[in-house]
A and B are shown apart, each in its own frame.
Chain A
Amino acid sequence: MRVAIIGAGVIGLSSALCIQEQFQSLLPSLQLEVYADHFTPHTTSDGAAGLWQPYVSDHGNLQETLWNKETFDHLLGQLHSPAAKEMGLFLISGYNLFREPVQDPSWKNIVLGFRNLTPKELELFPGYSHGWFNTALMLEGRSYLPWLTNRLTQRGVKFFHKKVESFQEVSGDGVDVVLNCSGMRSGDLQPDPELQPGRGQIIRVLAPWVKHFIITHDLKSGIYNSPYIIPGSEFTVLGGIYQHGNWSEENSAKDHKSIWDSCCQLLPALQKAKIVGEWSGLRPARPSVRLERESIRLGNLQAEVIHNYGHGGFGLTIHWGCAMAAARLFGAILQEKKQLATPPGPRL
């Protein structure tokens, strides 16, 4: 049985791994194939800083909160394993800053040590009157994607460097299930007006004295439109851009200035930091993640498509929960095709 996964960002690779881990031994004929036009280090996941943190408000989407928790708990469990360094996984603490009082976030009990900031701490951030401190995780795409790729390759998953233009292209010819993990470009495979780019731009600097993430919030201008500073293992990411509907992947001088000025105001010592790179990417934004099955008629064949896209600016944060959910959908498909007596995997 052949399964085609379209997309090799964190969603595509982790979904492939979940399915491989859960079903390969039960279904020896299972052959997974990953198709993508971009592989690490050129995917959206590679550009992201890699901080595990959902948006401040979950808009009542409990399912996504559960997937976030599943991801955090899974990663926390990997923290002491020898693979952690190779995965780009490590603990990090930091600050979320607000200019007004806000409700505690849905993830306050998922992260470690969540608390409000003390007045002394707020002295560090003039202009901000409230905030949170917590310990979370970093999962750097530049390390995590190669790690996933190695695991998949070791287990016989095949990779194809190809821009897939339609589901027909990969289905048929023995491919029974297609996983659509194409992120921003899902609209090319099947129109989805709800999927829109949330353009971001970041500046990469050398500032190794910064040991905390600092994320500011301006509730009027919306998520990520306020400066943020996220230290990584090789460089520190400065950001604060979210432009809904902007498809440009070119770095903008205006955005550069906005990021630089606002981050230096937040942390004056950044003025001395050396700039080592700049990047623009498109967050595949959607009111909610599309994670569902669809049967697609292609000629006289029927293909099962599992959609797993629209993770906006929280792909790394939510990826494992979604991968497990995609694997459950896959299990249901196998059951229907009478490939399996009962779906495997832990009873959740």
Chain B
Amino acid sequence: MASPKVAVVGAGVIGLSTALCITETCPSCSVTVLSDQFSPNTTSDVAAGMLIPHIYPDTPIHRQKQWFQETFTYLFAISNSAQASEAGIHLVSGWQIFKSPPKEELPFWSGIVLGFRPMSEAELQKFPQHRFGHAFTTLKCDCPPYLLWLEKRLKATGTQLYTRKVADLWELHREYDIVVNCTGMGAHQLVGDKQLFPVRGQVLKVHAPWVTQFIRDGDGLTYIYPGIHRVTLGGTREKGNWSLSPDAGTTRDIFDRCCSLEPSLQGAQDIEVKVGLRPSRQCVRVQREVLSQGGIKLPVVHNYGHGAGGFSVHRGTAKEAAHLVEECFSALQGSSSRAKL
């Protein structure tokens, strides 16, 4: 098998970054991205893209830490390069604040972000209802720019991108040798994963260019994330809610909660409401599988279920998935050479 044909299904941050990693680790592979949605209509486009990890209960911490470290290092290098603005990657400083002290004094990622330290008394005065906090500098991936940049990098490697709704992974077996499933919430239907559930998030994207600092309540519900052109105000975490329609009452509530942390947001303009379904799972599924039907085998690599932490670990899981693709490739070569005997 000279040039294995790999189909990556899904064009959010996971699909695109996984496709890119595959082109890097397997230059002889021919990669095609198939998705029913591309930026600006993916779940990733709703997200703020902040590099603050979400904890997966069933993934070992050392693995999550490695994913985050790899992602941070990768984006740090881009943020420091001439491509930073095109890729939409930038540093942002701010605070994570708590009404009561958090269980863990130091999150596992405190040494990976920059300048992590407890907030001073003077800084906490800005948040009279909160008694404790962390100050640090991290990275933000703005979408659509980051996804468009990934698409551009992919096209430069010769990767094809097609709008196509894949109803069943098996339908790809004739055209492709390996399938990579990066369908996020779509995996619920596509592969029938009942462990995958939506956590609905509604956000506001507003024009408030004087907001330079991020603020995040440790409960994860209220946050203010300044992006290149807009500030993302959040949010909600509604487990099991599949609705993609914005809710007016929720909009009001998010706005009020954010204004109580940052009063100057009262002057925000051009409020845009967006909804996304975080493709949530107890652990991220990065795993090989071989589908078979009537003696025909189709190797599949899964990379989905990143929930609230997609951006934070995307590069790390993409690399892991790309290694699994390599393993599939080796297995295919092994079996094809056996077939020749």
On A, residues with C-beta under 8 Å from B are 79-82, 84-86, 88, 90-93, 112-113, 115, 117-118, 120-121, 123-124, 133, 135, 138, 207-212, 231, 233-234, 268-269, 271-273
Q: CB < 8 Å: which of A115, A209, A233, A268 contacts B80?
A: A268
Interfacial chain A residues near B135, Cβ < 8 Å: 113
Give 17 new A-B contacts, CB below 8 A, not counting A112-B120, A268-B82: A82-B266, A84-B263, A86-B267, A90-B264, A91-B212, A93-B137, A113-B120, A117-B115, A124-B80, A138-B210, A209-B84, A209-B228, A211-B92, A211-B212, A211-B226, A268-B81, A272-B85
- Give the complex CA separation of A178 and B86 in angstroms: 54
In the complex, B123 has a CB within 8 A of chain A? yes
- Give the complex CA separation of A259 and B190 in angstroms: 55
- Beta-carbon contacts of B127-143 to A below 8 Å, as 1s and 0s? 00000000101000010
| Contact of A208 with B88 in the complex, beta carbons under 8 Å | no
Q: CB < 8 Å: which of A88, A112, A211, A233 contacts B91?
A: A211
| Contact of B82 with A118 in the complex, beta carbons under 8 Å | no
A to B CB contacts below 8 Å, 27 in the list:
A79-B264, A80-B263, A80-B264, A82-B263, A84-B263, A85-B210, A90-B211, A91-B213, A93-B93, A93-B137, A113-B120, A115-B117, A121-B137, A135-B93, A135-B123, A207-B85, A208-B228, A209-B142, A211-B90, A211-B93, A211-B226, A212-B93, A269-B81, A269-B82, A269-B83, A269-B84, A273-B85
| Contact of A93 with B263 in the complex, beta carbons under 8 Å | no
Can you name the residue of chain A whose Cβ is closest to the Cβ of B78? A269
In the complex, B172 has a CB within 8 A of chain A? no
Tell me whether A209 and B85 are in contact in the complex, defined as CB-CB below 8 angstroms, given that A90-B212, A112-B123, A124-B80 are known contacts: yes
Q: Is the interface of B mostly helix, strand, loop or mixed?
A: mixed
Interface size on B, residues (CB 8 A): 37
Within 8 A of A (CB), among B63-110: 80-86, 88-94
- Give the complex CA separation of A87 and B213 in angstroms: 18
In the complex, B332 has a CB within 8 A of chain A? no
On B, residues with C-beta under 8 Å from A are 80-86, 88-94, 114-115, 117, 119-120, 122-123, 126, 135, 137, 142, 209-213, 226, 228-229, 263-264, 266-267
Interfacial chain B residues near A124, Cβ < 8 Å: 80, 91
Can you name the residue of chain A whose Cβ is closest to the Cβ of B88? A209
| Contact of B82 with A92 in the complex, beta carbons under 8 Å | no
Tell me whether A135 and B90 are in contact in the complex, defined as CB-CB below 8 angstroms, given that A121-B115, A268-B81 are known contacts: no
